[in-house]
Structures are given as C-alpha cells and as structure tokens.
C-alpha cells in the first residue's frame, strides 16, 4: 500500500510479517513480502535557505528538491541517480552521507525515532543518521531526512565522483552488520 502519513507507515510495520519498502521507480524484488510504497509520503517540511538546511519527507523527488533549492540559487551537494530522497538515502554513498544532518525513522518494532537534527554540528549520541545511509531499506523505514544544502557556486567545486567499493565484507564486518540489523529490526520485518 501507499502511506501518506507516519501513522499509516507505523501501522504497516506493526501488522506486516515481512515488508518491502519501495519508492518511486524501485525495482520490485520477487518476494512474498507486503509492499510499502513511500512515494506518496512526500513534500518539503522545512527549508531555511539562510541556514543552508532542508527537511523533506522520504518520497520527495530529487527533481522537486532541486527546483525548490534553485529558487534561492542553492543545490544539493551530492549527485544521485535515485529518483526520491528516501531512495538516495537507502542506496547511500559517501557524498550523501556528508550532507545528511538528521533523520526520522520507524524501526522494525514500529517505533518512531529521531537521530541527528537540523544543525550543522551535532555530536550527541552515536551518529545513527549517517550509519543508516546505505542501509537499503533493510534496517528501518526512512521517513524524513534533513540535509545540508549549498549555494550553487560551491556545488560545482565540491562535487566529486562517488565510488563505493563493492567488495565482499570481512566476516567481522558482516557480524557487525547482522548485529545492527538485530538492533533496528529484531523480527526481520524489512526484507
């Protein structure tokens, strides 16, 4: 189903045995899991050009964000091939991770949790906001994302190519990833 508010997302997480999260244009994996379509949970929540800060719902398209920012001669500090911000967050990459400031998630137990915030500097608690970038929808539902944005002139000069090293993780790294899956999604709802 398509969720249009936090309560509906929460309801889905709490009732489904297994759940596959999709955004706009996602490739569906053939599974028995129920589908949670996030593309209608979209829109700009907060945008303060003078703070270089933007908060959006996960289903907001990259295109819409670009248009919003362009009005103030600002732009996203990363490049992405994803069509929504939720998908860009899920797929990850170092550039995206550099830009993200805060996140509202719903974990596998249906709990609404907030990490990070809307400020540039924030070292309270572990950096869950950046940890979950690249979690591919397997640890939690990403509901809202706060980002640092830049004046247009600074984007061209800071943009670098994004080259995630896809390699077989070490046994220890795999063990840690499995442990973290247990923390955020102990009943393995997200597939």
Partner 1 sequence: MQITQELLKNLPKHIVLQGDENTRPYECDGLSVYRQKPLAVVLPETVDQIKQVLAICKQFNTPVVTRGAGTGLAGGAIPLENSVVLGLSKLSQIKSIDPIAKTAIVEPGVRNISISEAVAEFGLYYAPDPSSQIACTIGGNVAENSGGVHCLKYGLTVHNIVTVKILTIDGEELTLSRDDDGLGLLALMTGSEGLLGVITEVTVKLTDKPAQVQLVVAGFDKVGDCANAVTNIIQAGIIPAGLEMMDSFAIEAAEDFAHAGYPRDAQALLLCELDGESAAVEAELKQVLNILSDASSLTVAKDEQHRAALWQGRKSAFPAVGRLSPDYYCMDGTIPRRYLADVLEKISELSTFYGLRVANVFHAGDGNLHPLILYDANKPGELEKTEKFGTDILKLCVDFGGSITGEHGVGIEKLDAMCHQFESDELEIFHQIKAVFDPKALLNPGKAVPTLHRCAELGGMHVHNGQLPHPELERF
Which residues form the interface with partner 1 (CB under 8 A)? Answer: 48-53, 72-73, 92, 94, 97-98, 107, 111, 113-115, 117-128, 130-136, 139, 150-154, 163-167, 169-170, 172-173, 176-177, 179-180, 182-184
In the complex, least distance from residue 39 CB atom to partner 1, rounded to whole angstroms = 24
Contact 142, 100 (CB under 8 A): no
Q: Which is nearer to partner 1, 32 or 81 (CB)?
A: 81
The alpha carbon of residue 81 and the mean position of all alpha carbons in its chain are separated, in whole angstroms, by: 14
Taken as a whole, the chain contains a residue count of: 191
Q: Which is nearer to partner 1, 81 or 165 (CB)?
A: 165
Q: Which residues pair with 190 in a beta bridge?
A: 19
In the complex, least distance from residue 1 CB atom to partner 1, rounded to whole angstroms = 25
Q: Which is nearer to partner 1, 23 or 77 (CB)?
A: 77
Q: Which is nearer to partner 1, 3 or 75 (CB)?
A: 75
Contact 28, 36 (CB under 8 A): no
Residue 141: which residues within 8 A CB-CB, separation 6 or more? 9, 13, 21, 36, 38, 58, 105, 106, 190
Structure tokens at 42: 């979209």
In the complex, least distance from residue 21 CB atom to partner 1, rounded to whole angstroms = 16
In the complex, least distance from residue 13 CB atom to partner 1, rounded to whole angstroms = 14
């Amino acid at each position: 189903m398509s969720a249009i508010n936090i309560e509906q997302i929460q309801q889905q997480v709490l009732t489904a045995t297994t759940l596959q999260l999709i955004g706009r244009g996602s490739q569906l994996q053939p599974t028995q899991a129920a589908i949670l379509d996030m593309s209608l949970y979209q829109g700009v929540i907060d945008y303060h050009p003078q703070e270089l800060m933007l908060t959006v719902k996960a289903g907001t398209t990259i295109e819409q964000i670009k248009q919003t920012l362009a009005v103030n001669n600002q732009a996203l500090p990363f490049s992405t091939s994803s069509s929504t911000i939720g998908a860009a967050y899920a797929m990850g990459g170092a550039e995206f991770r550099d830009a993200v400031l805060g996140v509202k998630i719903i974990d596998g137990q249906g709990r609404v949790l907030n990490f990070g915030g809307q400020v540039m500097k924030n070292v309270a608690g572990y950096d869950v906001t950046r940890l979950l970038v690249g979690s591919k929808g397997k640890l939690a539902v990403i509901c809202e994302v706060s980002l640092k944005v830049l004046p247009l002139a600074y984007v061209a000069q800071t943009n670098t190519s994004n080259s995630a090293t896809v390699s077989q993780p070490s046994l220890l790294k795999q063990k840690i990833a499995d442990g973290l899956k247990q923390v955020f999604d102990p009943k393995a709802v997200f597939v």
